[in-house]
Amino acid sequence: MRKSFVMAWLCLTILPISSAAEPATALVAKDAWVRVTPGSDVAAVYLTLHNTGLRPIIVIGVQSPVASQSMMHETSLVKGQSQMRMRDKIVVAPGQTVRFAPGGLHIMLSGVKQPAPAGQSVPLVLLLADGGQVSLAAVVKPLATP
């Protein structure tokens, strides 16, 4: 009887410690939206990433079933001209927020199979360097959205 009591006490004591461990991914994705250009097979995705954990999180890619290719890009102004370059990774430091916004970081979907109407959601999966994934949905907004 005493042995059962000790085992039950150990289980109750150890259980809270293991449930307090850091989640599989501490990366929070929010406010995701996609701008679809009518008559085009490309779309730009914008969102906010926040690292709630204690270690840097590295995003190394993105996938979406609605496009044949998904890439992280950054737009910058060079000598008065807008240039876009591919980013192979985005590092989100502990406590840091990274914004993907028009004129800066964004996800470029190309080979969009069927344009989604405004209000519909587009599924995305962020691929992390540690093998983790973050699934999210981006709401489609009309082209005129700033």
Domain boundaries, the chain: 23-141
- Reported as a single tens digit per residue, the pLDDT across 33-47 is 998 777 889 999 999
What would you measure as the largest C-alpha separation in the chain, in angstroms?
Answer: 80
Confidence tier at 19 by pLDDT (50, 70, 90): very low
- Let me know the angle formed at the C-alpha of 60 by 122 and 112, rounded to the nearest 5 degrees: 30
Answer for the pair 91, 130: CB distance below 8 angstroms, yes or no. no
Identity of the residue numbered 79: K
CATH classification code of 23-141: 2.60.40.1890
For 51, other C-beta atoms within 10 Å of its C-beta total: 20
What is the predicted pLDDT for the residue at 72? 97
What's the pTM value of the predicted model, to 2 decimals?
0.79
Tokens of 121: 């959601």
Place of tokens 């587009």: 122
